[in-house]
Amino acid sequence: MSVATPRSFNPAFRAAFESKISSLYGKKHLSNPTECQRIIDKLDLRTKYNCSKLDIIDVNSGAGLFSVMLNYELKPRNHILIEHNPHFHAHLAQKLEMAREISNNAENFQLLNWNPFRWSTYSSLFEEKILPWPSEQPQDKIHDELLIVANWTGPRDESLIAQWISCCGARNWLMKYGKIRMVLFGPPASIRKFMSDPGFRRRNRTALKRELFTESKLIAIEPGENEAGKDYDPRVLVRDQPLVLAKDACVKDRELTVLEVVRGQYTTEDIANIEHLLSPIFLNTVPLKHKLHKLAPGAEYLARFLPESLLEKNSKWLTKEDVVSIAEAYEKWPFKPTIEETFDITEVSQYGH
């Protein structure tokens, strides 16, 4: 390490991080301590937690540099590293053992070779008394005893991020305990879609649900080939003011994006009655008033309960409030069809769904 060692770099791990990983095994990993420090400073988590009562669940910890620095910054009660990849598990185990000779695990790390794709992995942390059961805390404050950090930068990890967002809406999994903050590392292409506000060309159902079910913030973005932030929604960039990571932030100069997510205002129950209609609504960019008749037999009736300004919008411009209004209008429809009656066999065949 250079003389200008970042504030949050634990000196007990100095020797452990003199060697670097050579393979990525499908994920992208931070390898630049200065860039890790910038992310930690941007998150400003130390001012937001009573760290003596804080437990961290750290998923796909991989190279481990960010995990170690975040740990030194926060000094949590427990820091669980979940790493199922055998190469990274061995890599982390070696580093923890080297540091333990100096610090005697004052960091409260525990490394588990558990599968992060299984829902039971997370409940088992409490059932097996590895962590104390989280207290249920009110919706109007961030949960101050549990923090989730996860690396979902793999080529097929977008669906996992979408599932965790859905859990925020369903108020299940760990989200049943309150507004638990998640710091997610994701593929830039996926995060661009998730973080598209109404009217942006990438806006889709996933972006709508992210807006409905979470309060999300871009923390850091990749530098890009020529222009940082080129393919992001510019309004999100102005609002969140994310860091632009250095080109050497990651192992082999690969790129990732950092997103902060907490449970939002609306739940899946708020739109449960029209969940099956979101797919046809987002099928094209025809204004809503011209596609009502295709959503369900007699669905033109919904126009009685919706303002003209909403009816004139196409799917890319629908806000979370608009979708809730559609759900409320649907509930007022006295002769609404069953879910089965809303499916058009010919259209299903045509679009291959």
Annotated binding site for S-adenosyl-L-methionine: 28, 30, 83, 151
The Cα 23–Cα 29 span in angstroms is 10
Q: Show the tokens assigned to 28.
A: 């992208």
Binding site residues, as ranges?
28, 30, 83, 151
Which H or E element spans position 263? Answer: strand 257-263
What are residue 148's phi and psi, to 5 degrees?
A: -110, 130
With H, G, I as helix, E, B as strand and everything else as coil, classify residue 26. Answer: coil
What is the residue whose two structure tokens read 């632009």? 244
> 63 with 31: CB under 8 angstroms?
yes
Which string of b and e fits 129-160 if b means at least 16 CB within 10 Å?
A: eebeebeebeeeebbbbbbbbbbbbbeebbeb
Residues 6+ apart with CB under 8 A from 308: none
Measured distance CA(151)–CA(67) in Å, rounded: 11
For residue 26, the tally of other CB atoms under 10 A from its CB is 12
User: Which has the closest alpha carbon to 190: 226, 227, 225, 151?
Assistant: 151
Going by C-alpha positions, the residue among 230, 161, 159, 239 that lies closest to residue 197 is 239
Say how far apart CA 94 and CA 280 lie, in whole Å.
51
The C-alpha atoms of residue 64 and residue 75 are separated, in whole angstroms, by 16
132: which DSSP letter? P
Question: Are the beta carbons of 29 and 62 closer than 8 angstroms?
Answer: yes
